[in-house]
Amino acid sequence: MNGSDLIAEAEKALSLIFSGIDSQVKENLKRVLSAFCKYRVGPHHFAGVTGYGHDDLGRQVLDQVFAEVMGAEAAAVRVQFVSGTHAIACALYGVLRPGDEMLAVAGAPYDTLEEVIGLRGQHQGSLAEFGIRYRQLELTEQGTIDWQALSTAIKPHTRLVLIQRSCGYSWRSSLAIADIAKIVTLVKQQNPDTICFVDNCYGEFIETVEPTAVGADLMAGSLIKNPGGTIVTAGGYVAGRSELVEQATCRLTAPGIGSSGGATFEQNRLLFQGLFLAPQMVGEAMKGNHLMAYVFDRLGYPVNPLPMAPRRDVIQAIQLGSPAKLKAFCRAIQQQSPIGSYLDPVPAAMPGYESELVMAGGTFIDGSTSEFSADGPLREPYIVFCQGGTHWTHVAIALEAAIAAIQAT
């Protein structure tokens, strides 16, 4: 069966799932719209201020709207966060102190956090260099949280539990909101003062509530992923308990300045509009993920998640099995991108990553994984991680080219 026939078959098989995603988009959009109305967002909130950024009314209201949407006490949405990793690092450095322990409960963290923690690199001010200890709970053989180990894992000095919602570059299931709620419950039963922190990258608007609405104390993410709605040009966010958000922003700026500083560089309108668009854009990405999973599963490749499985982030992993197929797949995606279709993605080193990466992403926002992109580390078993997508129909078009490229390799 050729690519176009497979995709047509997938569209029919997934029609009920697509309809369910549309219903979820509606629920999430209601939540966003309600927050906009509650805080009376108007055109005057689009204006920015210069210099220190004091008394930026738009930024202040955006923080309130974002917190409301996320089910959090407070939030800080800032273009000064250069990435999700930066927002996460600010949260960790803001909360942790020398002698504290951080416990990762979902196995190894995402590659870009390894140098932040101190698992790789040296002399750059990692958490380890500041005397913050690190421990991780390995996943079970089935790739799930080890619930039994977690039930007795919290020690008196365990200040913070790191919950990575997305699978990252690992072959495991991403965490559902129900999983995160269960983790929080188990942690708090052992020590109510241990902070439950969620790396929420790739997970926003996948379900109808966020981690802070089910007990997480603090979370962070990127604005060029889900909550930026594919139009925000840069930035990240932290959300959660008020005092923890303030501690994180004190690391972003300085103690005594915290969340009160930071000019928005005339970006407020895009930040508000991106949040409004986000539920729809995430829904489109989820549909594209289901489509890719269905087609490559039919072609005999291992996929994660499975075609009919509920989505828990906007990442679809496909185990291609060879470097040639990984490069061919990414080349085909690049050729079907609106920007830079003429470029040839080649493996290269990337700051923060241990392995060389091959990346395809002809996106309007550089590095945006809320737009359709594909990448993977050049290491066995040669898995490509597909992310985002502004229209599932664009994913379908690119997918047809990727199938042809793989079959010709």
For residue range 106-133, what is the model confidence (pLDDT) as tens digits?
Answer: 998 988 899 999 999 888 999 999 999 9
C-beta neighbour count of 292 within 10 angstroms: 28
Give which of 203, 323, 255 is closest to 90, Cα–Cα: 255
The whole-number pLDDT of residue 409 equals: 87
Beta 218-222 vs 236-240: how paired, if at all? antiparallel
For residue range 269-285, what is the model confidence (pLDDT) as tens digits?
Answer: 999 999 999 999 999 99
The whole-number pLDDT of residue 353 equals: 65
**How far is it, in rounded angstroms, from Cα 389 to Cα 395?**
7
At how many degrees (to 10) do helices 3-13 and 268-298 cross?
110
The whole-number pLDDT of residue 212 equals: 98
Low-confidence ranges of the chain (pLDDT < 70): 1, 351-354
Provide DSSP, 160-205: EEEEE-S-TTSSSPPPPHHHHHHHHHHHHHH-TTSEEEEE-TTTTT
Convert 41-70 to b/e letters by CB count within 10 Å (16 or more is b).
Answer: beeebbebbeeebeebebbebbbbbbbbbb
**How far is it, in rounded angstroms, from Cα 324 to Cα 269?**
43
**How far is it, in rounded angstroms, from Cα 210 to Cα 244?**
17
The whole-number pLDDT of residue 352 equals: 62
The whole-number pLDDT of residue 236 equals: 98
The whole-number pLDDT of residue 191 equals: 97
All domains of the chain in start order, with CATH: 3-27+278-407 (3.90.1150.60), 44-275 (3.40.640.10)
The whole-number pLDDT of residue 234 equals: 96
The whole-number pLDDT of residue 402 equals: 95
Per-chain mean pLDDT for the chain: 95
